[in-house]
């Protein structure tokens, strides 16, 4: 193969790659797929401008369990009956927290699956923090109680 033909082949492959990848990105999700409106393989190096400063994690705190009151409340994962440390339990708590407990279907599913039919008073808490500050100090920026609920299987 002549050098000139090899050069044309390389250019053709690169142009084809750019056209196909741009077309694929539009076919998969359109130009609004990424908040920066970048098109693959053309992009900027603004990685850290998209990393949020503040993160939110939701926890379920138990204030009363079968007549025993906890002061201060205990995180659900700290109580042996509820120590289900699976990814599904974590995801369910995060979804419940994002809804603030206002979605009755999510709440009913969570209570049936993870509170295991016990008499429980619990609250949904949002822990807000900056990751680097939390790493250095171990402290959350703010802790906010979003909602409180009571479950009594006898009712």
Beta pairing class for 68-75 and 120-129: unpaired
**Res 51: pLDDT:** 63
pTM of the predicted model as reported, rounded to 2 decimal places: 0.62
Measured distance CA(78)–CA(4) in Å, rounded: 70
pLDDT in tens, 59-117: 999 999 888 888 899 888 888 877 766 778 888 889 989 988 888 888 888 888 888 77
Measured distance CA(3)–CA(48) in Å, rounded: 42
**DSSP per-residue string spanning 20-53:** HHHHHHHHHH-TTSSTT--BTTB----GGGGS-S
* Residue-range domain boundaries for the chain: 3-48, 53-151
């Amino acid at each position: 193969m002549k050098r000139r033909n090899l050069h044309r082949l390389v250019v053709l492959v690169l142009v084809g790659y750019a056209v196909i990848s741009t077309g694929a990105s539009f076919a998969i999700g359109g130009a609004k797929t990424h908040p920066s409106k970048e098109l693959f393989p053309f992009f900027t190096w603004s990685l850290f401008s998209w990393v949020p400063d503040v993160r939110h994690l939701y926890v379920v705190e138990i204030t009363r369990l079968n007549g025993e009151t906890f002061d201060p409340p205990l995180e659900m994962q700290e109580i042996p009956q509820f120590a289900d440390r699976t990814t599904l339990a974590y995801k369910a708590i995060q979804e419940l927290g994002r809804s603030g407990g206002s979605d009755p279907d999510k709440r009913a599913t969570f209570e049936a699956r993870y509170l295991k039919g016990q008499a429980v008073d619990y609250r949904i808490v949002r822990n807000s923090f900056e990751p680097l500050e939390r790493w250095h100090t171990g402290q959350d920026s703010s802790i906010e109680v979003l909602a409180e609920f009571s479950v009594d299987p006898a009712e």
